[in-house]
Amino acid sequence: METKSVFQINKDGLGSLINRIQTLFVGILRIWSIPIVLMLSVTAGFTTYYGLSHFIIPWIALAITIAVQSVIVICSLEIAALHWRANRLRYLSVLVSLVVAISASVTFSYFRFYEISQSENIHISRLNKVRQEVNDYLTAIVFARSGILKQQNSELEKATAEASQAYFGTLPHVPAAYKNLVGEGHFWKHYNQLYQTKKDKFDQLDRGFHLLDEDIRKLQTSLNHLETDLKNNYPLVVAGLQEVQLRFNQLATSVGNTIPQAPVLMTYGQFIQGLTPSFSMWTGFSPFAFACAALVDFFTVLLSYRLEFTAPGPLSEHEQELVLECLRQFSEFRINENDELEMVIEKSEIERARRYSDWSRMFAVGFLLSRGFLRKIDKRSVEFAPNLYPLIADRMGAKLRAIKTRSQSASSSENNPLAHEQQ
């Protein structure tokens, strides 16, 4: 049998070629939609499983994920073949199942996209938190040091004044016999010793604060370079903070002063640790993460909806003959709002009056509905699925060709009666 090329212009002209190209293109798109739907389902399944596995046992999370993605695809395919007026309860059950499955998928997928989209913001917030806590602590140390130095300087000035008064004999509480006696007497030696003790303590405290300033400078240097080299500088920040805290606590307690509360920094492992999915992520809602999670399921539903629910199998020659003969028994057809051919499957008033048996044609309708070639509109009408038109057109074309052939044969017989008689 001769095989015709798709791109060959036959006797029907350019219109036939355009129709063949369009049919081929639409068919390729329908076939290509299948792997796209599968890939989108796998993608949505991975993100759903990632979020779900942080709340329940992994193998249970995997089973639920497979069920959720299967429900999304199946319900999307099935709802394309359903009509609200045909079976409202079934339509609602399919729609509710689809909404529940999409909600579960988007909810747990959101955690993964939130972690990806917010990882940089979380890193920056942790970095700023460390800087803020360290800077607040250093500020508290500076105020505390100023208070300590002011207190110690006041005590040193008091000791200096008392030593000077003891030297000149002007102390207010010395006996009258020793007043106005200038010189290094017993009182002067006592107060001078107190002064020297205060002065040595102040000098020691001042040296300690100079060393503390050096530690603070190193800590601030590591803190400033924290963003450029986190791995090396973060341990330096932690160690520097501990060194500053230890030195200041020694200095403050040596003079009987209170110490500010030092921050407790997280370890390096905790600092670089990723987010653990939790429902608290919804408090800091991320529209971008939610849109990414919803788009995956949206495209899955959209493409699955376009594929329709039943993948029709090929009809045999006898089945095609049966379908065409039975469909020809219906008389009420119209083009509906979906731009599809719709036909009424109820008996007409005349058929009811004659008690006409429509078993054969109703069998054909049920057969085509089960195979996906018809779609039910309501209890009294159905519409053609796109895949039924080529079959009907092919059978009608075959019949027209047969009629044309018989007509041409009859015409030839009439034009050549002698040849006909000889035959």
Same domain, 267 and 126: yes
Domain assignment of residue 26, yes or no: yes
- Co-location of 105 and 159 in the same domain: no
User: Does residue 175 sit in the same domain as residue 266?
Assistant: yes
78 with 209, same domain? no
Provide the pLDDT for residue 282: 67
pLDDT in tens, 167-182: 666 666 666 655 665 6
Cα separation, 297 vs 34, in Å, equals: 15
**Total of domains in the chain:** 3
Task: Assess whether 225 and 331 both reside in one domain.
Answer: no
On whether residue 413 sits in a domain, the answer given is no
* Residue 417 in domain: no
Q: How many CB atoms lie within 10 A of CB 257?
A: 15
Same domain, 24 and 85: yes
Q: DSSP states of 277-315 as a string?
A: P-GGGGTT--HHHHHHHHHHHHHHHHHHHHH-S--PPPP
Cβ burial of 399 (10 Å; 0-12, 13-18, 19+) is exposed
Residue 416 lies in a domain: no
SS3 83: coil
**Model confidence over 94-136: pLDDT tens digits?**
889 889 988 888 888 888 888 777 777 777 888 888 888 888 8
Which of these, 326, 335, 329, lies nearest to 383 by C-alpha position? 335
Is the pLDDT at 3 greater than 80? The verdict is no
The boundaries of the domain holding residue 339 are 317-407
Residue 85 has what pLDDT?
Answer: 66
Residues 323 and 262 in one domain: no
* Domain annotation covers residue 62: yes
Please enumerate in sequence order all residues whose Cβ is within 8 A of that of 204, keeping only pairs 6 or more positions apart, or say none. none
Condensed to tens digits (0 to 9), the pLDDT of residues 358-412 reads: 788 888 888 888 777 788 888 788 888 877 787 777 777 777 787 788 777 777 7
Q: Is residue 360, in this structure, part of any structural domain at all? A: yes
Quick check: 292 pLDDT over 50? yes
Residues 227 and 95 in one domain: no
Domain of residue 343, CATH code: 1.10.10
One domain for residues 285 and 235? no
How does the average pLDDT of the chain come out, rounded? 76
| 236 and 286 assigned to the same domain | no
Alpha carbons within 13 angstroms on the beta-carbon side of residue 64 total: 20
Model pLDDT for residues 27-59, shown as the tens digit of each residue: 677 778 788 888 888 888 888 888 888 888 888
Is 55 within the bounds of a domain? yes
The verdict on residue 86 lying in a domain is yes
Same structural domain, 129 and 263? yes
The answer to whether the CB of 375 falls within 8 A of the CB of 383 is: yes
Q: How many other β-carbons are positioned within 10 Å of the β-carbon of residue 302?
A: 13
Are 289 and 363 contained in the same domain? no
